[in-house]
Amino acid sequence: MTTTPEDIHIARINASDRTPVLFVHGLWLLPSSWDRWARVFDEAGFASLTPGWPDDPDTVAEAHAHPEVFAGKSVGQVADHFAGIARRLTRKPVVIGHSFGGLITQMLAGRGLAAASVAIDPAPFRGVLPLPFSSLRAASAVLGNPANYHRAVPLTYEQFRYAFANAVSEEEARDLYDRYAVPASGEPLFQAAVANINPWSEVTVDTLAPDRGPLLIISGEKDHTVPWPIANASYKKQVRNEHAVTEIHEMPDRGHALTIDHGWHEVAETALSFISRFVGRPDA
């Protein structure tokens, strides 16, 4: 059996006495989008782990050269992939996710796999009803063509500017697009779009799980893709869990790119502060 770099990293984390932090990226990004966050959490005494979705390439250049590797990845498949990683860790991890990664984060927490979790601008799950126009427009790059269900779909710069980078300057938006944007599987967006009319949807979260753990939802005030009505509706579902703390925090003047843009550190510190309250800060 071949030992992968991920295997080695997990073994090192398990051999340490540090609490793991499992980062889950969303559509149109790669694990490298978490690199700066990982350094912040490592320096705080945690052990960061930034795995990709199944078949993720290592670099943006590879992603553009072989976009087909992103196709056909469903929400259920990706959630099971990250659940498998969480179960290989000897200590229950903190889980932090953005966008569809924020949805996966809540799914893992609902399975009892998170010591604490932070869902940043999380994609909606079954039962979250608001559907603002800006979300429909942001998703139209995929949902506008039913054939995209089975495809890997890139964003044009104009689509990225609207969906991710509307709250930053033109210069920064172009830099973020060049540095981070990659094609993404169309399937999760179609799954989310019909989750509320599909009783067998994979896009479900056990919001009442007694072992869910503390949860923070972070919302960017100016997010077009997952605006406040969606994030707040997710919060209202989650806060009904009487067994665990649920909080929500709005980041002023921030869009969907809040984890990678110039203000990423403020968002990371907000997440770290929440986690430290419930899991403890190892460097304290």
Q: Is the pLDDT of residue 272 over 90?
A: yes
- The rounded Cα 47 to chain-centroid distance in angstroms is 18
Q: Is 110 helix (H, G, I), strand (E, B) or coil?
A: helix
* pLDDT > 70? residue 1: no
Mean pLDDT of all residues in 25-44: 98
Average of per-residue pLDDT values in the chain: 96
Give me the domains of the chain, ranges plus CATH numbers. 5-279 (3.40.50.1820)
Residue range 253-259: average pLDDT? 98
How far apart CA 231 and CA 197 sit, in angstroms, is 20
Q: What is the pLDDT of residue 3?
A: 72
121 backbone dihedrals φ, ψ, rounded to 5°: 45, 55
The pLDDT value recorded for residue 5 is: 82
In angstroms, the Cα distances linking 159 to 168, 215, 238 are 14, 31, 31
* 208-223 residue pLDDT tens: 999 999 999 999 999 9
- Judge whether residue 7 has pLDDT over 70: yes
Confidence of residue 263 (pLDDT cuts 50, 70, 90): very high
Query: Taking the model in full, what pTM does it have?
Result: 0.97
- pLDDT tens-digit profile of 103-143? 999 999 999 999 999 999 999 999 999 999 999 999 999 99
**pLDDT at residue 283, as a whole number:** 67
Q: 4 pLDDT exceeds 90? A: no
Residue 284: the pLDDT is 57
